[in-house]
Amino acid sequence: MKNLLLSVALMIVSISSYAQEKDVTKFLGIPIDGTKSEMIAKLKGKGFTQVNYDQNIILEGEFNGREVYIFVVTNNRKVYRIMVADKNRISETDIKIRFNILCQQFSNNDKYLSLGDHTIPENEDISNKILLGKRYQASYYQVDKEFIAKSLLGKYTKEQLGNTDNLNIEDQIYIAEAYQNGSAHKQVWFIISENLGKYYITMYYDNVLNMANGDDL
């Protein structure tokens, strides 16, 4: 009886601890949540420095081998987005290589899953396509290994999940529902941005739960 009560007590403590620890998108291990000042302090702890020469830019530093600017975006005083923009602008050829390498890095990272292949074909004329309104974007979802094991990898291999375009519609619906139920709010995505004929990557780490949903209208 004592062992049963102890087990129940431990279970309650475990559930309580889990409930207190929000399962939200993380940037460098930092949950995308809390106030702007709290987030800035945590980012400084990761080595980023505050910018004084531009009030629109919050921090700058190095991320994934690149010099970047960091923007902290809030809704109702709660952080819902960390935006990371390359400092340096590069050519069309180089941005395609950079975009595709990022896609490969995310696809090879066990913390992320994606619905499809986002890489750009080598012969793609992105400058003309962007001029015509095409948006080069890749979206991924942060998923913990336990969720992957329980919800996805029991039915699919990592190779299948790496590119779902060839799966039948029932399987695609299954995966979409798994994302929706377990990690749809933990989105990380990036796009190719253009400025005066040069290109750079802008990345977004979003906590969808903190985004505006029309309540203020």
Provide φ and ψ at 146, rounded to 5°. Answer: -65, -40
Between 37-41, 43-47, 92-96, 147-151, the lowest mean confidence (pLDDT) is in 147-151
d(CA 96, CA 195): 15
Sequence ranges of the domains in the chain? 23-210
What pLDDT, on a 0 to 100 scale, did the predictor assign at position 174?
59
Q: 137-142 and 112-113 as β-strands: parallel, antiparallel, unpaired?
A: antiparallel
185 versus 106: the higher-pLDDT residue is 106
> 127 pLDDT exceeds 70?
yes
Mean pLDDT of the chain: 79
**DSSP characters for 147-194?**
HIIIIITTTS-HHHHH-GGGS-HHHHHHHHHHHHHHTTTEEEEEEEEE
d(CA 25, CA 83): 13
d(CA 78, CA 183): 20
Alpha-carbon Rg of the chain, whole angstroms? 20
Winning range, highest mean pLDDT, from 104-118, 139-153, 187-201:
187-201
